[in-house]
Amino acid sequence: MSDLQNDRVKPYAGIEHAQRIGLGVEQCAERVSRFGYAAKQLMFAQAGKMSSVANWEFKAMVGRGLWECAQHWGQWRARIGEMRGHEHLIDRHAEGPLYDLFQELLHSNGDAEFATGLYGVILPAYRAALLRYTGETNPLVDQPTVRLIRHMVLDLDDHLAFGETALAAIEPAHRATAAAWQAHLEQYLAAAGGIDGTSERLPSFQLPPPRSQGDFRIPGDYARDARFATTLPKINPFDNEKVHEPLLSKMWVRSQEMTAAELCATVLFEWDDLPYEGCLDLARHCWDETRHGLFGQAALEAEGIPLETLPSWVGYAKHTMPASPPKRYSHLAIATEAGLMRHPGGKRGEWEWCKDEAKHPLMTTYQDFDWADEVNHVAYGREWLIRYYCKGDRAKAQAMADETVAERLAYYAQFATPADAR
């Protein structure tokens, strides 16, 4: 016997509309396959574009967006497997109008067009399709999907709130081209029948000619907006020998980790046969390095030093982009990060120094989490470069990483810079 008034307690585990007829499993699985494909392509499109986005704030948001979309993709992969389907149903859309839509998105020119495609066309359509699904499916039989969507929409609402600021910031001179690009992409979306395929399809012969002619290629440079003065060699503007400057020097080094994030994004986009789990790790690695860059920016800002007053290092693109994606990744995950695990010194040493020597609470927090993230990055390198790519041959992976170090030294040899600036 319960000591509650039974008829006052909410029924059906708090789920409303339990008697809605809803959609069938097959219909749901079809939509879920399209959502999975959209999430996957949102991850890849942001990975492909991140390094060429120039605006610093937009670049950082793309770093976050691609990781959150990578997680959504994984959730859809799992869910479709629970609906008498298979994750391969997601990849069926790789030949069809949804694919064409994302190819066009990749061929956006400049920040304004890409922001328009992402925040003005595709993400709003994806969000609307998710809400349409929850409005139509039976919320009791399909509760796992309804719950997934509720959580994803929280992420997408953050992306769209950010996106509104980017769209409002389009230079007046570029508003007309952005509007024309929006109309172009909306027609490609209409040809797909919307993200969920429920709208009437625009016949493909009515589509404007595609901008995309063949595969999208990531440019060989990492873009910065006009506020920044870029530098090819990594010359720290602060002098470690001067009082107070070692701390600022560390902040600057953190801020330049955006280049490591850009490297991860390019590897994620270009590494063809990387399994889902590898894509998820690469996406996370990218977002971690983006955050490390923002740690540096925030720490400098707290000292009254705006990031754009300091040089922005972009030479990293020059000596890593010519390498294959796994080799490029080995420069970061093996040649650089694995060495930072050694103590004394290394990542733990940086944290100890900020805590005990500099006694700087904010940098102590940043370095603490930076160290935690870096431990994971070394594990990603072990998994995807040593175990997966080199089939467990540690020496082969190390040789590949060593080659990137030699290539880096050879690249910076053209600049008269101190050895520790390379």
Closest CA to 183 of 100, 121, 109, 111: 121
Which residue lies nearer to Fe ion by CB, 142 or 288? 288
Q: Does 292 bind Fe ion (CB under 5 A)?
A: yes
- Contact by Cβ (8 Å): 49, 171: no
CB of 125 to Fe ion, least distance (A): 34
Which residue lies nearer to Fe ion by CB, 40 or 347? 347
- Contact stretch for Fe ion (CB under 5 A) within 20-28, 82-90, 218-226, 289-297: 289-297
- Contact stretch for Fe ion (CB under 5 A) within 120-128, 217-225, 290-298, 320-328: 290-298
CB of 383 to Fe ion, least distance (A): 14
- Contact by Cβ (8 Å): 52, 75: no
Q: Does 31 bind Fe ion (CB under 5 A)?
A: no
Q: Does 377 bind Fe ion (CB under 5 A)?
A: yes
Which residue lies nearer to Fe ion by CB, 108 or 320? 320
In 3-state terms, what secondary structure has residue 230? strand
- Stated as kind and residue range, the H or E segment containing 402 is helix 394-412
CB of 262 to Fe ion, least distance (A): 12
Which position has the token pair 């997934």? 148
How many beta carbons lie within 10 A of that of residue 405, not counting itself?
Answer: 16
CB of 357 to Fe ion, least distance (A): 21
- Stated as kind and residue range, the H or E segment containing 120 is none
Q: Is 302 left (phi over 0), alpha (psi -120 to 50) or beta?
A: alpha
Site for Fe ion in 171-230 (CB under 5 A): none
Which residue lies nearer to Fe ion by CB, 83 or 283? 283
CB of 336 to Fe ion, least distance (A): 8
Site for Fe ion in 226-285 (CB under 5 A): 257
Which residue lies nearer to Fe ion by CB, 139 or 296? 296
Could you tell me the end-to-end alpha-carbon distance of the chain, in angstroms, rounded to an integer?
74
Burial class (CB in 10 A: 0-12, 13-18, 19+), 304: exposed
Number of residues that bind Fe ion (CB under 5 A): 6
CB of 46 to Fe ion, least distance (A): 19
How many beta carbons lie within 10 A of that of residue 375, not counting itself?
Answer: 13
Q: Does 331 bind Fe ion (CB under 5 A)?
A: no
Which residue lies nearer to Fe ion by CB, 69 or 378? 378
Which position has the token pair 């010519």? 322
Q: Does 68 bind Fe ion (CB under 5 A)?
A: no
Which residue lies nearer to Fe ion by CB, 196 or 289? 289
Burial class (CB in 10 A: 0-12, 13-18, 19+), 20: middle
- Contact stretch for Fe ion (CB under 5 A) within 16-24, 75-83, 220-228, 373-381: 373-381
- Stated as kind and residue range, the H or E segment containing 200 is none
- Contact stretch for Fe ion (CB under 5 A) within 99-107, 263-271, 286-294, 353-361: 286-294
Which ranges constitute the DSSP H helices of 85-233?
88-91, 97-106, 110-115, 123-136, 143-168, 175-191
Which residue lies nearer to Fe ion by CB, 139 or 381? 381
Closest CA to 178 of 257, 250, 111: 111
- Contact stretch for Fe ion (CB under 5 A) within 66-74, 234-242, 291-299, 409-417: 291-299
Which residue lies nearer to Fe ion by CB, 31 or 292? 292
- Contact stretch for Fe ion (CB under 5 A) within 43-51, 72-80, 171-179, 287-295: 287-295
CB of 281 to Fe ion, least distance (A): 12
CB of 261 to Fe ion, least distance (A): 8
In the chain, helix, strand, coil percent, each to 5? 70, 0, 30
CB of 165 to Fe ion, least distance (A): 26
CB of 347 to Fe ion, least distance (A): 9
- Contact by Cβ (8 Å): 43, 63: no
Which residue lies nearer to Fe ion by CB, 153 or 362? 362
Which residue lies nearer to Fe ion by CB, 216 or 351? 351
**DSSP track, 336-387:** ITGGGG-SSSHHHHHHHIIIIIS--HHHHHHHHHHHHHHHHHHHHHIIIIII
CB of 257 to Fe ion, least distance (A): 5
- Contact by Cβ (8 Å): 189, 116: no
Reading the block at residue 274, the tokens are: 């990387």
User: Under the rule (CB under 5 A), what is the footprint of Fe ion?
Assistant: 257, 289, 292, 337, 374, 377
